[in-house]
Amino acid sequence: MISQSGAWAALRKHHEQVRDIHLRTLFAADPMRGERLALESAGLYLDYSKNRVTDETLRLLLALAEAAGLRARIDAMFAQLVADWRPDIVHVHHLIGLSTGILEQARRRGLPLVLGLHDFWFGCPRGQRIRHPLTICHDIDRRLCVPCLKPQNYEMRAPRQPLWPWLRRLRPPTFARGLRVLARYDADMHGVLSLPDALITPSPFHRDMYVRYGVDTAKIHIIPYGLPRSTATREARAVPRIGFLGTLIPSKGAHVLLDAYRRLARPDVPLDFHGAWVPFHGDTGYLDRLRTTAATIDGTVTFHGRYEQDDVARILAGIDILVVPSVWYESYSIVIREGFLAGIPVIASNLGAMAEAIAHDVTGLLFEAGNADALAAQLRRLVDDASLRARLVAASKPVSTVEENAARHLDLYEAVRGITGPPPHST
């Protein structure tokens, strides 16, 4: 039993040592605790800085996970699923919280294997190709990656043997050691990405970013996400409403839109923010800063909070200008397509897949990412010119349907099965 193991006993002993320590003491000893003892990946944020957790706690927890055979248990669960389901093909959409052993098992069993690349989880310590303070990493320069290293991030991204000796130490590495860790990590990730028979990205831009990381371009297939068609009825408004849909985190650029709204100086034009707030790499005050700024602006700014997918059509029906001001690389930008389908003119940052989605002044408007003056200028054009809004809405904008997306996946599955042959259980 795990509760009888040495790793368990060590954790119990550690608990006796830390249970009476006040959190004020821990934060005084480590002012960066709020950022260091947090984990963010694939839209999940875990903040354990406000618990009686130290670096030694994390080291002991990882040792306990190793003693319990956690990775082997994940692999065994997958093996049982394969035995029960007898799949013709395995399509993995993400490995967050799982094991790369899933891909290795599928490969050993001779199962056709497809992997979706929806973000930058492979190849980036933060998973987002962005570093403090909101600086984009277009090229991977590992000298700039060392400050982003967190042991807990690495445990989630590369749960394989080469990183375990460093993970057990749970200390930020020296610069030289960080580079060595990253070199091993890159070798591991390239090995993982070589396992699937096919890789899927939602946009050419996202494909190109992985090609730059060293992935075989012949293996990558671009399949845009499919979206359902909107049935909401739009209301005619004399004064247009500006809207933002998305998570309220700094990388999504809500602060840029708020600054641009101030510069627009049209208090008669309302601005609506729709979306939940979550902490961002230890930053827990972003929404408060947005609200404080909004209170100083002459106009109507409303933060509506979280919404569900079923609410999107209704929300978009109440918006006349949709702004997507992200300051990081979106891999596709579903919200731009939702705006297209809802018949709303869209303004977006001229970055990555957002710039691919919009032909400037034809299907929408683009502005220099992070530049509030440039965004304000484009907002002014749309607010003042109803004919421009109508022209952009009328322009043809191909958006894949759910059915088209499914058909392209099925075609790829058949092609992959043709390469690998039928799975062993079907012969």
pLDDT tens digit sequence for 257-314: 999 999 999 999 999 999 998 878 767 789 999 999 999 999 999 999 999 999 999 9
Tell me which residue has tokens 């967050």.
96
Q: Residue 242 is encoded by which pair of tokens?
A: 């500006």
% of the chain with per-residue pLDDT over 70: 90
Distance CA 297, CA 304 (A): 18
For the cut 80, the answer to whether the pLDDT of residue 168 exceeds it is no
Q: Give me the CATH number covering residue 297.
A: 3.40.50.2000
The single-letter code of the amino acid at 370 is G
pLDDT for residue 112 is more than 80: yes
30 is a domain residue: yes
Number of residues assigned to the chain: 427
Q: Do residues 161 and 266 share a domain?
A: no
Tell me which of 130-139, 140-149, 160-169 is least confident.
160-169
In a domain, 121, yes or no: yes
d(CA 210, CA 162): 23
> How deeply is 134 buried, as exposed, middle or buried, from its count of CB atoms within 10 A (0-12, 13-18, 19+)?
middle
Going by pLDDT thresholds of 50, 70 and 90, the confidence category of residue 414 is very high
Residue scoring higher pLDDT (41 or 169): 41
pLDDT band per the 50, 70, 90 thresholds, residue 152: very low
CB 262 within 8 A of CB 297: yes
- Locus of tokens 């902490």: 279
- 322 in the same domain as 258: yes
Q: Kind and range of the H or E element at 255?
A: helix 254-264
Average pLDDT over the chain reads 88
Q: How are beta strands 44-47 and 242-245 bridged, if at all? A: unpaired
Q: Which of 66-75, 93-102, 218-227, 417-426 has the highest mean pLDDT?
A: 218-227
Higher pLDDT residue, 65 or 337? 337
Per the CB < 8 A criterion, the answer to whether 196 and 113 are in contact is: yes
* 64 band by pLDDT with thresholds 50, 70 and 90: confident
Is the same domain home to 213 and 280?
A: no
Mean pLDDT of all residues in 120-142: 88
Q: Tell me whether residue 236 is in a domain.
A: no
Statement: residue 45 has pLDDT above 90: no
34 and 91 together in one domain: no
**Number of domains composing the chain:** 3
Looking at the structure, tell me whether residues 40 and 151 fall in a common domain.
no
Cα-Cα-Cα-Cα torsion 312, 286, 347, 381, nearest 10 degrees, comes to 120
Confidence at residue 156, expressed as pLDDT on a 0 to 100 scale: 37
Sign of CA dihedral 260, 261, 266, 272: positive
Same domain as 267, residue 192: no
231 belongs to a structural domain? no
Structural domain includes residue 77: no
DSSP H helices in 138-253: 142-145, 151-157, 164-169, 175-193, 204-212
Residue 44 above 70 pLDDT? no
Same domain, 363 and 253: yes
Domain carrying residue 217? 84-226+400-427
Residue 335 · residue 356 · CB < 8 Å: no
Are residues 248 and 389 located together in one domain of the fold?
A: yes
- With residue 297 as reference, give the H or E element that holds it: none
CA–CA separation, 333 vs 338, rounded Å?
A: 9
Of 68, 103, 127, the residue that ends a domain is 68
Span 227-252, average pLDDT: 90
Q: What is the mean pLDDT of residues 348-366?
A: 97
Q: Are residues 251 and 113 in the same domain?
A: no
Band of pLDDT at residue 173, cut at 50, 70 and 90: low
Assess whether 161 and 63 both reside in one domain.
no
Assigned domain for 79 exists: no
**Mean pLDDT of all residues in 385-389:** 96
> Considering only 64-68, 134-138, 225-229, 329-333, which range has the smallest mean pLDDT?
64-68
- Do residues 246 and 389 share a domain? yes
Q: Enter the tokens of residue 247.
A: 């998570």
- Domain identity same for 100 and 178: yes
